A and B are shown apart, each in its own frame.
Chain A
Amino acid sequence: MTATAWAWLVLLFPLLGSIVIALGYRALPQKVAGMIGTAAIALSFACGVAALLSLLGDEPEARHHASSLWDYASVAGLDIKLGIYLDQLSIFMVLVVTGVSTLIHLYSYGYMQSDAGYHRFFSYLNFFVFSMLLLVLAGNFVLLIVGWAFVGFASYALISFWYRRETATRAGLKAFVINVVGDIGLVLAAFLIFRELGSFDYGTVFEKAPQVFSTNEWTITAICLLLLVGAFAKSAQLPLHTWLPDAMEGPTPVSSLIHAATMVTAGVYLIARTHVLFALAPTAADIAAFIGLATLLVAATIALVMTDLKRAIAYSTMSQIGYMVVGVSIGAYGAGMFHLMTHAFFKALLFMAAGSIIAAMANEQNIDRMGGFAKAMRFTSVTMLCGGLALAAFPLTSGFFSKDEILAYAGARGGMYLIFVVLGYLGAFLTAIYTFRLIFRVLGGEPCAEARELIETGHVHHAEPRNPATNELEDTDVGFPGPEHHIAETSAPMRIAMGVLAFLALVGGLVQVPGVDNVVADFLDPAFEGPVLAHVHPSIEWDWIGLAIGGAISLLGIWAAHWLYVANPERPRALEARFQGVHDFLFRKWYFDELIDVLVVRPALAIGRFANRVFERLVVDGLVTGTEGTVRGTSGVVRAVQNGFVRSYALLLIAGFAGLALYFLLSSS
Chain B
Amino acid sequence: MSNVLLWAPLAFGLVGLSLPRRAVGPWAVLGTLVTLGVAIAMVVGFDSGDSALQYVENTPWISGLGVDYSLGVDGLNLFLILLTAVLWTGGVAFAAFRDYERPKTFFFAMLVAETATLGSFLAQDLLLFVLFFDFMLVPFYFLFGAWGHDRSGEGGPTAAGATLKMIIYTLIGSLLMLVAAIATAIIAADGGHITFSIQALQEQGIGLGSQRWIFWFFAAAFLVKMPAFLLHGWMPDAYRAAPLPALAVFSGVLAKVGAYGFLRIVLPLFPDATVEFQEVLLVIALASILYGSVMAFTQTNVRLIAGYSSVAQLGFITAGIFALRADGSDGAILQMVNHGLVVAPLFVIVAILLERTGTEDIRAMGGMALRAPVLAALFLIVALATLAMPGSSNFVGEFYILNGLFQAKIVFAFIAISGVAMSAYYALRLYQGTMHNRQPEGLLSREIGLRDALVLAPLVICILALSLYPQLILKRTNPSVERTMAKVTREAAPESKLAEGSTPIGPLTVQEAREIIQSAPAPESRPVVGENP
Contacts and interface: CB of A to CB of B under 8 A. Distances in A.
- Do A and B touch each other in the complex, judged by CB within 8 A? yes
Interface of A: 22, 25, 70-78, 120, 142, 145-146, 148-150, 153, 156, 160, 163-164, 166, 169, 172-173, 176-177, 180-181, 183-184, 187-188, 191-192, 194-196, 198, 475, 477-478, 604-605, 607-609, 611-612, 616, 619-621, 623-625, 627-628, 631-632
Contact of A187 (B236, B417, B533): B417
Contact of B298 (A22, A188, A194, A612): A612
Contact of A73 (B234, B406, B438, B470): B470
B342 to A, nearest CB: 16
Contacts of B326: 75-77
A607 B295 CA distance: 9
Contact of A191 (B168, B403, B421, B530): B403
Nearest to B432: A169
Nearest to A478: B370
B391 A149 contact: yes
A620 B327 contact: no
A176 B530 CA distance: 33
Contacts of A191: 402-403, 406-407, 413
Interface stretch (B89-97, B256-264, B473-481, B516-524): B473-481
Interface string B164-188: 1100110010000000000000000
Chief secondary structure at chain A's binding surface: helix
Given A173-B428, A627-B169, A608 B377 contact: no
A73 B294 contact: no
B432 A173 contact: yes
Contacts of B422: 604
B420 interface: yes
B233 interface: yes
Nearest to B380: A157
Given A77-B327, A78-B400, A153-B389, A188 B414 contact: yes
B168 A164 contact: no
Contact of B295 (A146, A477, A612): A612
B428 A164 contact: no
A609 to B, nearest CB: 6
10 contacts: A76-B325, A153-B389, A164-B367, A164-B370, A183-B390, A478-B369, A608-B294, A609-B298, A611-B294, A624-B169
A535 B34 CA distance: 68
Interface in B231-275: 231-234, 236
Given A76-B482, A191-B402, A192-B406, 14 more contacts: A72-B396, A146-B395, A148-B390, A160-B436, A163-B432, A164-B367, A176-B428, A184-B418, A191-B407, A195-B532, A475-B367, A620-B230, A621-B233, A627-B169
A146 B168 CA distance: 44
A608 B297 contact: yes
A163 to B, nearest CB: 4
Contacts of B475: 71, 75
**5 tightest Cβ-Cβ pairs between the two chains A and B:** A624-B233, A608-B298, A149-B390, A163-B436, A75-B478
A164 B532 contact: no
Nearest to B406: A191
A25 B425 CA distance: 29
Interface in B432-483: 432, 435-439, 469-471, 474-475, 477-478, 481-482
A604 B387 CA distance: 18
B81 to A, nearest CB: 20
A204 to B, nearest CB: 12
A78 B403 contact: yes
A173 B425 contact: yes
B297 A150 contact: no
A22 B377 contact: yes
Nearest to A78: B327
**Most A CB within 10 A of own CB, among B172, B399, B407, B417:** B399
B358 interface: no
B384 interface: yes
A166 B438 contact: yes
Interface string B382-393: 001001011100
B507 interface: no
Given A73-B400, A608-B297, A160 B432 contact: yes
A180 B423 CA distance: 10
B60 interface: no
A413 B487 CA distance: 57
Nearest to B424: A180
A620 B232 contact: yes
A586 B434 CA distance: 37
Contacts of A187: 399, 402, 417, 420
Contacts of A164: 367, 370, 436-439
Nearest to B165: A628
Contacts of A184: 417-418, 420-421
B501 interface: no
B429 interface: yes
A623 to B, nearest CB: 5
A624 B471 contact: no
A471 B85 CA distance: 52
B330 interface: yes
Contact of A25 (B165, B373, B432, B532): B373
B291 interface: yes
Interface string B101-112: 000000000000
Interface in B333-387: 367, 369-370, 373, 377, 384, 387
B413 A624 contact: no
Nearest to B371: A477
Contact of B399 (A142, A172, A611): A142
A25 B372 CA distance: 13
Contacts of B403: 78, 191, 194
Nearest to A195: B407
A163 B368 CA distance: 10
A604 B298 CA distance: 10
A183 B423 CA distance: 13
Contacts of B470: 72-73
Nearest to A145: B390
